[in-house]
Chain A
């Protein structure tokens, strides 16, 4: 069994981080340049980490599969980033942001990590403004805020509907500055395919150069993964097509524990699926719920009618009805399940019946079309592009879609996995959002991890490593890891089967959505485990991967990612099956209150499940990290 020591510092919650920063070991400035750190990924978490570590004096190597770090999936975040600045004078505070996040996560996150996140949130905004991130401002020149789900204060900072883009470009500019200065060595179009462990510690990676096809070895004193989330296990999601689990998954297969894989977030406001060819689902930002009202017809018989023809009395504003105090701004898991429920009742709208209305007519009457256009114009444009419909004239049709994964590699308070020397940041780790993430909190976490946590905590590990002790890439462990990848690549290319990689991805996605999506059951999950295992066998028997290994080969890249998703899918179903409770994004139909809300079992499941690999097709070990709530009392979430 793996040892899971959370290393949460002692002392009062609000003092832990301050105290920890004093207590942890430091590497002296002159010694820093003797240490090399590999950072895989350059989304918000990776680029902020790489540039910050380089600025401190460490030698950094940055790897991304994209052709430029600016293309990371973080670029697509729309709505905003939270911070407890209390600029609106509406009662926000570090404690309130902490509490909202814990509650939003349905009491399944680690208190100390979340408190630290809330503390450093204020520094993030300072940092981003200093870099030139053009946040929205008020006429007086000060920063503006908007509201997001799960909060009763206005603490979300934004840059039109392109907040992720602007934050990423800020972090990217810092990364480019350090690359230009020679303190970061940048490797684009380089995909990490294996983690190298020497004497039980993470000391390097194996990379495929996606242009030449060459397999390359890199060693370092520590390895940081900031490789994003795994929502594309569902095939259709709001993620960029290239987002994948490979880096995390290969680390898992080398012994890193995977925590709470079944915690996935389904976002309530996405454009519904249109056809079998569909490659992605497009998010309509949660910020729309500030002014848009969600409804379906009261009677199923009206669901085919023109929405504008239905009178107020014929409409059911179901979120406002069920959750009067949070209304349309209740958390995502709750809003998504409510939408599913009304569609299950036959009241869904649109050609497939899998849709609900998001209606701006009242906002347009109240504010005028120009104000609505200024606030949401670009989102309305996106909607129009995809559907050929105008949301100024007709309510949007939306449906929940996979959007974020709360689970990820297990990390301690220092963001180090159970493999010493392997750190995991951003969406790739599991730590801060429990069983459900609040809107505008992922960007906050990515930048918190990269700018303000890892610069301190990595020193605690590196100070214990002799400088110059970094292993050579000629060692046996590197050779073996490289051979592992060469063998796998050969297996793909020599298979000469009859079905494309995308065929398997689609089938996996359907299985996952049906059995491990918004609502899960014991029998469904048990069936899914069998079906996915069978799919894995079929994949190896019949997959067809064209081309060669010695050149750019997108089919080959996809094959590796999809087989990892298939194996991950099994783990997710196993995790969901074992967690005999409902919490946040994990909803087991057997465990609900009469009104359909999640019924947790804190006694039995008030812990993190961290899975340990035992071989493909073998049952992994389930380790548990108890969640000790010192400050907040675990209670039933209530948004009514």
Chain B
């Protein structure tokens, strides 16, 4: 009894998307759940429902989760039409039942986007994000080759801004919230995190071009500046990083057009 919340227990109707596999046809199925403590988390409520289903001989609901504290980015439910549900700046696992009222009908779906195919029930395949990272979401620095850490001071405001961008948990809520299923906030955040820091300058142009091109190739849509992404983001990452990425991308393509290329090294591919 963590909170001194004396609110009484709730009963709800859960309307859940059930889908056996990527090719299967899915549908909403209703489940009743009674006597839920308001201090329960939303995922704990699903645990309880699943135990009941199991005992009744019905297949439990597949849902993704791990840390249950809003940092791993695994959980990914659209609750009542909103990725990660009603709260601001929270992931699905940080939604508590006290958010709902007795008698509510709660609709739960997977994150929907063409680039995130449904695996089963509420679980989607978000490996496209890993592929974007592989294309350029890094600073090449082999272990053993790094200079002394304090040799390169980073102005605090830059470090703080880079950190703001770096807090992305890679959950994909931005994509699910966007009507075009754009991944610009996710990519913009990584491009900005690394592009703001002095360490990230050497690969800055190459990075932004590679990441953006891969994003496009994987079937994510375009940004039409509605900024639903930032609103749904559990870390409230600012859409300013999208414009920053666009500027970087433009600059990189312009620079590439005029860049002298060494004939000797490996840079001329």
Distance A337 CA – B73 CA, assembled complex (angstroms) = 34
| Most chain B beta carbons < 10 A, residue from A51, A55, A130 | A130
Q: Are A503 and B51 interface neighbours, CB within 8 A?
A: yes
A250 within 8 A of B: no
Q: Are B133 and A172 interface neighbours, CB within 8 A?
A: yes
A177/B138 contact (C-beta < 8 A), A142-B153, A389-B3, A546-B57 known: yes
CB 8 Å contact bits of B154-167 with A (1 = contact, 0 = none): 11100110110011
Q: Number of B residues whose C-beta is below 8 Å from A?
A: 82
CB 8 Å contact bits of B135-177 with A (1 = contact, 0 = none): 1011111111111111011111001101100110110000000
Which residues does chain A contribute within 8 Å of B102, judged by CB atoms? Answer: none
B120 within 8 A of A: yes
A69 (CB) vs chain B CBs: closest residue: B130
User: Footprint of B on A, CB under 8 Å?
Assistant: 48, 51-52, 55, 66-73, 75-76, 85, 87, 123, 125-132, 134-143, 159-160, 162, 165-166, 169, 172-174, 176-177, 179-180, 186, 188, 211, 240-242, 271-275, 277-280, 282, 350-352, 381-382, 385-389, 397, 451-452, 455, 498, 500, 502-503, 544, 546-547, 551-552, 554-555
Which residues does chain B contribute within 8 Å of A451, judged by CB atoms? Answer: 143-144
A71/B149 contact (C-beta < 8 A), A130-B141, A162-B167, A502-B51 known: no
| Most chain A beta carbons < 10 A, residue from B43, B51, B150 | B150
Distance A551 CA – B123 CA, assembled complex (angstroms) = 13
Distance A503 CA – B48 CA, assembled complex (angstroms) = 11
A176/B130 contact (C-beta < 8 A), A126-B148, A127-B141, A388-B98 known: yes
User: Footprint of A on B, CB under 8 Å?
Assistant: 1-5, 20-21, 37, 39-41, 43-45, 47-48, 51, 54-55, 57, 59-60, 62, 64-74, 89-90, 94, 96, 98, 119-120, 123, 125-127, 129-130, 133-135, 137-150, 152-156, 159-160, 162-163, 166-167, 169-170, 193-194, 197, 199-200
Distance A350 CA – B4 CA, assembled complex (angstroms) = 9
Q: Are B55 and A76 interface neighbours, CB within 8 A?
A: no
A385/B94 contact (C-beta < 8 A), A71-B72, A352-B1, A546-B54 known: yes
The majority secondary structure among interface residues of chain B is loop
Query: Knowing that A166-B166, A451-B144 are A-B contacts, what are 19 other residue pairs whose CB atoms are under 8 Å apart, sorted by A's residue number?
Result: A68-B127, A85-B149, A130-B145, A135-B159, A143-B149, A143-B150, A162-B71, A162-B167, A173-B133, A173-B137, A177-B140, A179-B130, A240-B68, A274-B39, A277-B45, A350-B2, A500-B55, A546-B57, A555-B60
Q: Are A132 and B197 interface neighbours, CB within 8 A?
A: yes
Q: Are B3 and A387 interface neighbours, CB within 8 A?
A: yes
Distance A282 CA – B67 CA, assembled complex (angstroms) = 10
A52/B73 contact (C-beta < 8 A), A134-B162, A137-B154, A552-B123 known: no
CB < 8 Å neighbour of A76 from B67, B137, B141 = B67
Q: Are A388 and B146 interface neighbours, CB within 8 A?
A: no
Q: Are A176 and B199 interface neighbours, CB within 8 A?
A: no
CB < 8 Å neighbour of A211 from B72, B89, B119, B126 = B119
Question: How distant is B14 from chain A, measured CB to nearest CB, in Å?
Answer: 15
Distance A68 CA – B51 CA, assembled complex (angstroms) = 27
Q: Are B146 and A123 interface neighbours, CB within 8 A?
A: yes
Which residues does chain A contribute within 8 Å of B90, judged by CB atoms? Answer: 385
